Structure 1
Amino acid sequence: MTEEAIDTLFKIKRHGVGPCLLSCNFLIDKLVEHGKVDVAVALLGRVGFEEAADTLREMEKVGVTPNVFTYTAYLQGLCKHGRSDFANEVLRALIGENLPMDVFGCGAEIHGFVKEKN
């Protein structure tokens, strides 16, 4: 029912009510978990990457640790939109802080650099 969840997310956003951070994290987590990384990245792209970064910071501020799927979707979105250099900075910071990361996030960055011929 991911399509329904995404539709509901944007319906409530159009009415000026934003979803809570846990809801966003849960939705992104489930999308990636079910192999719908492209949908998760598109979802992050629709809210804008500045908003995605703000959401990550807000999650940390309120004590919610983003999981590996959230970070991976964020990195993939950055790389897909030509921001591989920034994704590399984010990835290095995550690794430096021993935060969760997997091969998919690293792979997204590599793919982004190759796509950008960098």
Structure 2
Amino acid sequence: MALAESPLILSAATSCARAAISAVVKVPSQIRDFFLGCRISDTHLPQLLLHSEFQLFDSAIVDSQKRRKEEEEEEEEEEEEEEEEEEEEEEEEEEEEEEEEEEEEEEEEEEEEEEEEEEEEEEE
């Protein structure tokens, strides 16, 4: 306070000193001085209520945005999982078809071999 030269700086310094002495955290003493003599306590100051309402409003918006993002991410993950499952099913079907084709080819080859053997036996 000794360094304060102008009246504005002096009043600011005294209010900071009063706030420090009163041990009330984050409440400027100018506002507390305004409510001196009335029944409004420090916890019910208008700026604290407004501040908390804004904080609640902001946090509600942020929470809703976070929830939306999380829901979108979950939907994307579910879609990706469904696509992967479909791809796996398609691959399995293709493998089964290939196996069936191979079996058919083997059967045809066996039939041809049997026919050739029968022809050879007939020739003998």
TM-score computed with the length of structure 1 as normaliser: 0.26
* Higher helix residue share: 2
Which protein is bigger by CA-based radius of gyration? 2
TM-score computed with the length of structure 2 as normaliser: 0.25
Q: RCO (CA 8 Å, sep 6+): is it higher in 1 or 2?
A: 1
